[in-house]
A and B are shown apart, each in its own frame.
Chain A
Amino acid sequence: AQSVAQPEDQVNVAEGNPLTVKCTYSVSGNPYLFWYVQYPNRGLQFLLKYITGDNLVKGSYGFEAEFNKSQTSFHLKKPSALVSDSALYFCAVRAWGRGSTLGRLYFGRGTQLTVWP
């Protein structure tokens, strides 16, 4: 069965400091991994994805994520946080291959990131 864990409900960081939002996953077979961000009263916005290849994936707004197969992790990172990065972040996974259940994304519970000035 597929699942995602985001071990931290909240992450607080000062503006200008690096940030990390953690995610670990469990999937049968190879994973597609995604990060989404949710701002208040808005839908989830796609940030980046891992398919295969380079373990470091770059995405929107200066975010990047590091895939670690041995640790089954896909942590979201940014070298220098901005106050405007404050939002709710979701990690998601789905398996690739064939089958009727391929469409479903499995989401973590989300991590609230707060960047203070």
Chain B
Amino acid sequence: GAGVSQSPRYKVTKRGQDVALRCDPISGHVSLYWYRQALGQGPEFLTYFNYEAQQDKSGLPNDRFSAERPEGSISTLTIQRTEQRDSAMYRCASSLAPPSQGSYEQYFGPGTRLTVT
């Protein structure tokens, strides 16, 4: 079946512009997660949702970052007034059930490579 999809796969933007990154989880997956991965590092947690409710946003680096999942399916991660330090791979993942219900693994999408010039 279809996996997690993300768009765009590559995004180049100028400093100060806003960007919106989209994630389409595996059909039927309840939970959706956003991570950021710098070169040479492992993914770093940003935020996650159960259905449409944002559960934990403590990983968002500052208030320029926000995420939503209004209908409990597709999610958008928005970065306002981008800065060069925001350049990274942004990865989305989904899991069948909420983490409170067990050890459900997270399935990752291909990522969006964001470059801020």
Q: Residues of A contacting B3 with CB < 8 Å? A: 43
Q: Tell whether, in the assembled complex, residue B55 and residue A49 are in contact, meaning their CB atoms are under 8 Å apart.
A: no
Chain B 34-56 against A: per-residue CB contact (8 Å), 1 yes, 0 no?
Answer: 01000011111100100000011
* Chain A residues whose CB sits within 8 angstroms of the CB of B110 once the complex forms: 41-43
List chain A residues, Cβ under 8 A from B75. Answer: none
**Do B108 and A36 touch (CB < 8 A)?**
yes
Q: How many Å lie between the Cα of A45 and that of B58 in the bound state?
A: 25
Q: Contact: B105 with A46, CB < 8 Å?
A: yes
**Chain A, interface SS category:** mixed
Q: Is the CB of B55 within 8 A of A103?
A: yes
Which one, A41, A43, A51, contacts B91 given CB within 8 A?
A: A43
Residue pair B105, A104 in contact (C-beta under 8 Å):
no
B65 near A: Cβ within 8 Å? Answer: no
Pick from B33, B45, B100, B103: contact of A106, CB under 8 Å? B45
Size range of the chain B interface in the assembly: 20 to 34
Among A36, A41, A51, A100, point to the contact of B103 (Cβ < 8 A).
A51
Chain B residue contacts of A14, Cβ below 8 A = none
B1-18 toward A: CB 8 Å interface, digit per residue (1/0)? 001100000000000000
| A93, B26: Cα distance in complex, Å | 22
- Closest residue of A by beta carbon distance from B43: A107
Which residues of A are in contact with B by a Cβ distance under 8 Å?
4, 32, 34, 36, 41-46, 49, 51, 90, 92, 94, 96, 98-110
